[in-house]
Amino acid sequence: MASSQENDVKKPETTITLKDDEKPETTITLKSSDGEVFEVPESAALLSYTIKIMVEDCRAGDVISLEQVDGKTLSWVITYLKKHAIDPFSEKDKDEFDTEFFSDKEFTSVVDIINAANYLNIKELLHTSTRKIADLMAIRWNRAMVGRIFW
Amino acid sequence: MLSSKNLLLKTKMTRRKQSRKPVSKKPNSIAKKPKFESNNPESVLPTLEDDGYEQIGEEGEDGNFSLKGSARSHSHGVQPLGNLYVSASSFNSRNTGLGNLQTLTDELVLDILGLLSGTHLGVLSTVSKSFYVFCNHDPLWKNLVLDTCSTGFLYNGSWKNTFVAHYTNSCNNIVSCGIKVRDFYSDYLFQSWLCANLEMKPEWVERDNIVRKRGISVDEFVSNFEEHNKPVLLEGCLENWPAMQKWDREYLIEVCGDARFSVGPLQMKLEDYFRYSDQVREERPLYLFDPKFAEKVPDLGTDYQVPKYFNEDLFSVLGDERPDYRWIIIGPTGSGSSFHIDPNSTSAWNAVIRGSKKWVLFPPDMVPPGVFPSPDGAEVACPVSIIEWFMNFYNATKSLKKRPVECVCKAGEVIFVPNGWWHLVINLEDSVAITQNFVSRRNLLNVLDFLKRPNASTLVSGTKDRVNLHDKFKNAITESLPGTLDELIVKAEEKKNEQKKLTFWESVTDSKVGAFRFSF
């Protein structure tokens, strides 16, 4: 608003223009089987074909309930998706991240991730996690060792 | 309890590229015949009781399955999951034996095992009864053979034995009976065995509603069938083919010598292929499908000639640069092709020289039940084996308003498959056939449209130069047959306008609407 004294000076319009990468991204709310709720950026969530279909079928703002994935596994999967949704993401960086991602996971956790990736239909994660289990089997193919990791 | 409904739950869907002719397999039938004979399709369908099968029982009108004559019960004693609920023991050794992997589905377990080498798979099979059964799932070993034996293989009773023999350079016939495992229940593994050992039921084979013609003129064929894009079965066209007299097994082996033909991802000698096809018993037998057979063995090319109806072959203007257009198909009972549309929007003819084939065809606007093409058409998800489609989806065709076109094409007969039609084929006995895809003036515009598509690089098939095929072809046509293209475009416009008029008029007078109609 210009006062009478400032008539000659036009105040610049105060508009805020966000650059593309600063725009807040839509998030999708996911709920695990044990009730944990996660806010996930859309680009990450839509890497899961299952979530993509579910989103198409519901309204904006709805919570997507994932009955077959528990909270712990879902949080891992979300970490994976967020990282893989970054664009661009080079093959080398992907490999590094994937190796690190699985390095601290126990055998049973990897199995849970496989089940989750299968249910959520995330091709890359499924491929990497099955590969990880196969590698474990191959490394420890001594019969006694194999028995120990499976039971 | 085993019934078709149980198995419905576990239909495995597999993705395959729409643009390539799929390699597909099917269980084998009864006694292996060393020579090709033109048998009645009915003669390959005995009904036999099987010891291991009796405990399972049958339910419902679809519960009766006929197993192959020499089928034994599952070699490792696998039973379908439903049996668990009525068995005396209440545990599934599948689960206890998998340990921490038991929460995974059968498919996922097999996916993981599929990543292992032969040695690791072999060792893993000694860990527990459950791993024994999983690791001896023959398709795993099939993939190992196909991945490692690029120069072909000598089949040895089972894929596992074949792999081991190849690996150890041993020529001995290893006889492996398999150990029966108790209390192992798995729908997936059981179904796999069932599909490998099931006979085609008579009711799947007997329906034959295609139009059959003998001795018609080319003009009649073009105006009654090709222009309307209708399939037809032509009799009596192969009578002067030398192949009809000459092509028995001895002749073929002799004339092909050491030439190698495409079998799946490999190139194999014909003799070695017959060794496999005589012995194999699996869900999806490999079939020999070679686009360069006449180049490899010129005698084969001279033993047949293109029936007069299909002489217009416009891709020939491209000379050596034309996409693959003719194949020899040799396969055992049960091999075949599940639902697909031929690539590049071409039409096709398929002539049976030995054996017989069951065909099921759906028009372009009707996706068959159990088939799920991706939106761009590049991939098609459908049941793993052809028998599985018949088991789970054939009955659904009975309730459709427009039923599919079906027939059995016997030796000496040729079927015309119009462009865009979905089709499924299964060999009812050991068969040899020749098929060619072609473009005539009737479908030239369709083909050019198809080649022009933005995803031509994934959809166009049979050539290394997918992206440029459209331009090359169009230029070659314009050069060799000037004026043709323009004529056709004008005609097509006229037809479209006619149809628009017709549609309006018909809607006004309340009669049947729609340009495409077919009747049997």
Q: Are residues B155 and B229 in the same domain?
A: no
Q: How do residues A56-105 score in pLDDT, each as one tens digit?
A: 888 877 888 898 999 999 999 999 999 888 877 788 888 888 989 998 88
Q: Are residues B237 and B186 in the same domain?
A: no
Q: Are residues B138 and B279 in the same domain?
A: no
Domain C-terminal end among B145, B179, B197: B197
From the list A69, A45, A67, the residue with the least C-alpha distance to A55 is A45
- Taking CB atoms and an 8 Å limit, are A141 and B104 in contact across chains? no
**Tally of domains within chain B:** 2
Q: Are residues B176 and B210 in the same domain?
A: no
Q: Which of residues 121-140 of A touch B (CB under 8 A)?
A: 130-131, 133-134, 137-138
Residues of B in contact with A141 (CB under 8 A): 119-120, 123-124
- Whether residue B311 lies inside any domain: the answer is yes
Q: Are residues B172 and B280 in the same domain?
A: no
Q: Are B185 and B79 in contact (CB under 8 A)?
A: yes
Closest Cα in chain B to A128: B112
- Taking CB atoms and an 8 Å limit, are B123 and A146 in contact across chains? yes
Q: Are residues B265 and B185 in the same domain?
A: no
C-alpha distance from B10 to closest chain A C-alpha (Å): 16
- Taking CB atoms and an 8 Å limit, are B101 and A111 in contact across chains? yes
Domain C-terminal end among B168, B197, B226: B197
Q: Are residues B186 and B221 in the same domain?
A: no
Closest Cα in chain B to A148: B99
Substitution target from B15, B94, B105, B124 for chain A, most A beta carbons within 10 A: B124
Q: Are residues B167 and B308 in the same domain?
A: no
Q: How do residues B64-99 score in pLDDT, each as one tens digit?
A: 667 776 666 667 888 888 888 888 877 888 998 888
- Whether residue B241 lies inside any domain: the answer is yes
- Taking CB atoms and an 8 Å limit, are B108 and A134 in contact across chains? no
Closest Cα in chain B to A107: B100
Q: What is the pTM of this model?
A: 0.77
Q: Does B513 touch chain A (CB under 8 A)?
A: no
- Whether residue B515 lies inside any domain: the answer is no
Token readout for B496 is: 């479209």
Q: Which of residues 122-141 of B touch A (CB under 8 A)?
A: 123-124, 126-127
- Whether residue B517 lies inside any domain: the answer is no
Q: How do residues B153-197 score in pLDDT, each as one tens digit?
A: 999 889 999 998 888 876 666 556 678 888 889 989 998 888 888
- Whether residue B41 lies inside any domain: the answer is no
Q: Are residues B184 and B111 in the same domain?
A: yes
Q: Are residues B293 and B349 in the same domain?
A: yes
Position B176 scores a pLDDT of 62
The strand pair at B212-214 and B13-17 is best described as unpaired
CATH number at residue B256: 2.60.120.650
- Whether residue B334 lies inside any domain: the answer is yes
Task: Note down the domain range covering B105.
Answer: 78-197
Q: How do residues B431-483 score in pLDDT, each as one tens digit?
A: 999 999 998 888 888 888 888 877 666 666 777 777 678 888 888 888 887 77
Rounded CA separation A133/B106 (Å): 15
Token readout for B90 is: 């209440």
Q: What is the ipTM of this complex?
A: 0.79
- Whether residue B516 lies inside any domain: the answer is no
- Whether residue B216 lies inside any domain: the answer is yes
Position B21 scores a pLDDT of 36
Q: Is the pLDDT of residue B140 over 90?
A: yes
Residue A98 CB-density burial (10 A; 0-12 exposed, 13-18 middle, 19+ buried): buried
The SS3 call for residue A142 is coil
Q: Does A150 touch chain B (CB under 8 A)?
A: yes
Q: Does A115 touch chain B (CB under 8 A)?
A: yes
Q: How do residues B33-66 score in pLDDT, each as one tens digit?
A: 333 333 333 333 222 233 333 333 333 344 566 7
Q: Are residues B444 and B388 in the same domain?
A: yes
Q: Are B444 and B485 in contact (CB under 8 A)?
A: yes
Q: Are residues B181 and B270 in the same domain?
A: no
C-alpha distance from A17 to closest chain B C-alpha (Å): 36
Rounded CA separation B396/A19 (Å): 55
